[in-house]
């Protein structure tokens, strides 16, 4: 059965992957609410841009009137909330936009959804869902021997970014328990793949390695992250939206933990293989810089609950997914060159520290 899905942040990295999946593999209608910030790309929608089942609404989730208008005009059956400020380093430099978008924006969207939900006929209200997409960073940091995060891990955010996402998670759950809005939360680990903005770890290192530029790594590179290919995540998110239970939380991961140094070295090796450098291995470009403030040591998710109840597992192992991602960047030089030529902040291409 075709549904009308209101999706916020659909021109972002993860959101565009969800839009592409919905248009290619389902018959659902997508109402894509995106204000087109620096990290958004309509190119990332590929054939979805201009498709009759895709509608782009240029609006900011912090605007109550705009959000009410989206609900009133398009009458969605479901909401997937992905719009967020998401880069840790940027949140350290300037927390304000993270508070505004991630906390205030989520509140505004919840209130618009609550008013809309209250007016739905019983049969439509029964199937309405509000799916809030979040991060594993809300759980804080793990030591080497700690078990991975699960849906019941206590919250312990350490950066302005993760604190703002933790706050939004709590708001979503409160609107379920207090007002009866049928919400769900999913928490995921670091994503990577095509169309990721070049300030994030994997594209950042790929492009620097390709250019023969230095590859600074925070600390000693021992910080560990769990990696999930973005198209696998997109499929899981749609599965949550369509089959998840109101009030539930789903931890989504791929069981692919790697240290930052291992990731950087693997990128160097793949770039060497695809574009050999007469100067030798790109590993020679790696050097270590002072760690950033509040740099969490390890994130890792146990996705067993989600895999069991959603009947989903990630298709890509890290090596296969990484080679595919790097190959995509090598084949789409015009896209990232245009970003750099447009005034992209070069100092952010200088630190290989994290994936968000």
Instruction: Give the other-Cβ count within 10 Å of 287's Cβ.
Output: 10
Instruction: Say how far apart CA 47 and CA 53 lie, in whole Å.
Output: 11
Apex CA 186: angle with CA 181 and CA 192, to 5°?
Answer: 145
Among 136, 169, 296, 300, the active-site one is 136
123-129: long-range contacts (C-beta < 8 A, 24 or more apart)? 124/77, 127/77, 127/78, 128/77, 128/78, 128/182, 129/78, 129/79, 129/182, 129/183, 129/184, 129/241, 129/244, 129/246
Tell me, what DSSP letter sits at residue 99? I
pLDDT band at residue 347 using 50, 70 and 90 as cut-offs? very low
pLDDT exceeding 70 applies to what percent of the chain?
96
Task: Quote the CA–CA distance of 82 and 105 in Å, as a whole number.
Answer: 11
* Residue 352 predicted with pLDDT over 50: no
Residue 218 lies in a domain: no
**What is the number of H-type helices and E-type strands within the chain?**
13, 12
**Strand ranges inside 43-86, DSSP E:** 54-57, 78-81
pTM comes to: 0.94
Over residues 332-339, the mean pLDDT reads: 93
Q: Which residue among the candidates 34, 137, 307, 354 is catalytic per the annotation?
A: 137
Q: What is the pLDDT of residue 296?
A: 82
Q: Is 169 one of the catalytic residues?
A: no
pLDDT confidence of residue 87: 76
End-to-end Cα separation, the chain, in angstroms: 35
Tell me if 205 is assigned to some domain: no
Whether 244 is in a domain gets the answer: yes
pLDDT-wise least confident of 3-12, 90-99, 169-178, 183-192:
90-99
Q: Is 116 a catalytic residue?
A: no
Phi, psi of 315, deg, nearest 5 = -85, -30
DSSP state of 244: P
Residue 314 makes CB contacts below 8 A (sequence gap 6+) with 228, 229, 232, 233, 236, 253, 254, 255, 256, 303
Assigned domain for 76 exists: yes
> Does residue 25 lie within any of the structural domains?
yes
Question: Alpha carbon 147 to chain centroid distance?
Answer: 23
- Which one is catalytic: 77, 85, 89, 161? 161
Range(s) of the domain holding residue 85: 4-189+230-255+295-317
Q: Assess whether pLDDT exceeds 90 at residue 351.
A: no
Residue 187 scores a pLDDT above 80 = yes
pLDDT at 355: 46
- Give the domain CATH number at 130: 3.40.50.720
Catalytic-residue membership of 137: yes
Number of domains in the chain: 1
Amino acid 240: pLDDT: 98
Q: Is residue 322 a part of any domain in this protein? A: no
Among residues 142, 343, 286, the alpha carbon closest in space to that of 223 is found at: 142
CB-based burial label for 24 (10 Å; 0-12, 13-18, 19+): exposed
Roughly what angle, to the nearest 10 degrees, separates helices 230-243 and 13-25?
A: 70
pLDDT score of 346 more than 80 = no
pLDDT band at 293 (very low <50, low <70, confident <90, very high): confident
Residue 48 lies in a domain: yes
Rounded to the nearest integer, the mean pLDDT of the chain is 94
Q: Is residue 121 part of a domain?
A: yes
User: Which of the residue ranges 141-145, 224-228, 261-265, 302-306 would you say has the lowest mean pLDDT?
Assistant: 141-145
Read off the tokens for 131. 């799916």
């Amino acid at each position: 059965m075709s549904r009308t899905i209101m999706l916020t942040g659909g021109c972002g990295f993860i959101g565009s992957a969800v839009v592409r999946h919905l248009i290619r593999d389902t018959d659902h209608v997508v109402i894509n609410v995106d204000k087109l910030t620096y990290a958004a790309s309509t190119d990332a929608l590929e054939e979805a841009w201009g498709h009759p089942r895709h509608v782009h609404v240029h609006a900011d989730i912090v605007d109550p009137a705009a959000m009410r208008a989206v609900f009133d005009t398009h009458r969605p059956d479901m909401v997937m909330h992905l719009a967020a400020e998401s880069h840790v380093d940027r949140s350290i430099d300037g927390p304000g936009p993270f508070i505004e978008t991630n906390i205030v924006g989520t509140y505004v969207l919840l209130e618009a959804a609550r008013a809309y939900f209250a007016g739905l006929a019983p049969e439509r209200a029964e199937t309405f869902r509000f799916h809030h997409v979040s991060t594993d960073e809300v759980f804080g940091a793990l030591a080497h021997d700690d078990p991975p995060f699960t849906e019941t891990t206590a919250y312990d955010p350490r950066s302005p970014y993760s604190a703002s996402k933790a706050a939004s998670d709590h708001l979503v759950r409160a609107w379920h328990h207090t007002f009866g809005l049928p919400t769900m939360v999913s928490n995921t680990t670091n994503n990577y793949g095509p169309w990721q903005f070049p300030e994030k770890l994997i594209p950042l290192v790929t492009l620097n390695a390709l250019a023969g530029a230095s590859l600074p790594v925070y600390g000693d590179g021992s910080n560990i992250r769990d990696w999930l290919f973005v198209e696998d995540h997109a499929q899981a998110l749609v599965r949550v939206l369509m089959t998840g239970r109101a009030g539930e939380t789903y931890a989504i991961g791929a069981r692919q933990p790697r240290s930052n140094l291992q990731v950087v070295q693997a990128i160097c090796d793949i770039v060497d293989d695809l574009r050999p450098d007469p100067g030798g291995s790109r590993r020679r470009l790696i050097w270590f810089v002072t760690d950033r403030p509040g740099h969490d040591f390890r994130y890792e998710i146990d996705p067993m609950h989600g895999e069991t109840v959603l009947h989903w597992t990630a298709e890509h192992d890290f090596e296969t997914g990484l080679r595919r991602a790097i190959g995509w960047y090598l084949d789409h030089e015009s896209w990232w060159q245009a970003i750099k030529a447009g005034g992209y902040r070069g100092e952010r291409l200088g630190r290989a520290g994290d994936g968000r």
